[in-house]
Amino acid sequence: MIPRSKHINLMLLLPYPLSAFCCLLLLCHLVAGCGKKGDPTLKAFEKPQAPSSLNAIHRESEIIISWDFPKSGEQGIKGFHVMKSSDNDFREIAFTEKDKRLYTDGDFHLNTVYHYKILSENLRGITHDSVILSVEPLPPPPPPRDLSFEVHHETITIRWKHANEKISFTVYRSDRRGQYGLTPLNAEPVHDTSFQDTFDVNRTVYYTVRSTTGSAIRDEGPSSAELEINPFEFVPSAPEDLTAVATQDRTYLIWKEPPETWVTGYRVYRQLDTEGDYLLVGSTDTPTFTDREHIAGKRNYRVTARGPSKEGPPAEIRGVRFAPPR
């Protein structure tokens, strides 16, 4: 038994191989503990990734600056410095949060060249500059007017008017009234006064068109009046040339389709006397219908076209009789 009154180094009592192993474990523990106090690498002192793909849009009283930065890199930065120069000296005009990619500058003059760059700043205050973007805002052109549309099967054509034939246009679409993004439908400026888009008969959409000078920064004028396209309010025309062919036991109805390509089908109504109501006797997706009910006397028919929601005015034929037996 070891007396408590004496201080003895227990490591000396252990066999040599075992004491060496214990020392190694202690050293590993100390090294691991040091690692928890901070990152031993120099990565935190490296420059952050630079913002890229700088772009500018001039809309009336605003210059909208946009840039790209990977979402995965946001964790290591504080945010972005927006720098501006009208000569050779850049000054900071804003600091944006790390999840922002836009800045709107309202302090500028037309026909004046400005330079912009964006700096990303990491958590240790180290910055990295983007490339420099040069912007010269030009006088914005007036908006297009008198927007209209035509539907043809699965496409829709938007049309408008503008007094200046040299002006180009950008077209915007939205699912919400009055809310449009910065990216137009057209990849390149539209030089005609029309634009073709896909048409969805089950969806309400809104369009607006802006005039543009066609410059590299997209000098855009005010937006046109908003054009609402709500297929559920579409009312088709009446079918044309409704014809009845009566045999001894049935009546065939034939008509010409209305010009609207978004018609979803037809409804057929029959009246048995001049004072009675027209009653629905059937529906069809094609411009033909066969009435197989054998009813003596004269009959009157009405046929209507159906849109996505609403029914159009009727075509009518009166005094139809069964053919007499031979």
What CATH number did the domain enclosing 250 receive? Answer: 2.60.40.10
Residue 283 lies in a domain: yes
What letter would DSSP give residue 11? H
For the chain, what is the domain count? 3
| % of the chain with per-residue pLDDT over 90 | 73
Domain end among 93, 111, 135: 135
Residue 5 lies in a domain: no
Tens of pLDDT, residues 56-101: 999 989 999 999 999 999 999 999 999 999 987 999 999 999 999 9
In this structure, the answer to whether residues 194 and 261 fall within a common structural domain is no
Element containing residue 212 per DSSP (H, E): strand 205-212
Domain that holds residue 103: 46-135
In this prediction the pTM is: 0.74
Alpha helices in the chain (DSSP H): 10-13, 16-35
| % of the chain with per-residue pLDDT over 70 | 86
Q: How far is residue 218 CA from its own chain's centroid?
A: 19
Residue 309 lies in a domain: yes
Residue 163 lies in a domain: yes
Number of H helices, E strands in the chain: 2, 22
pLDDT category of residue 42 using cuts at 50, 70 and 90: low
- Supply the pLDDT for residue 16: 46
Residue 140 lies in a domain: no
Domain end among 78, 105, 135: 135
Kindly state the tokens that stand for 174. Answer: 């939205």
- Supply the pLDDT for residue 44: 63
In this structure, the answer to whether residues 201 and 219 fall within a common structural domain is yes
In this structure, the answer to whether residues 95 and 158 fall within a common structural domain is no
* Structure-model confidence comparison of residues 33 and 206, the more confident one: 206
Domain end among 135, 163, 186: 135
- Supply the pLDDT for residue 191: 93
Tell whether the torsion through CA atoms of 151, 152, 154 and 156 is positive or negative. negative
Whether 27 shows a pLDDT value over 80: the answer reads no
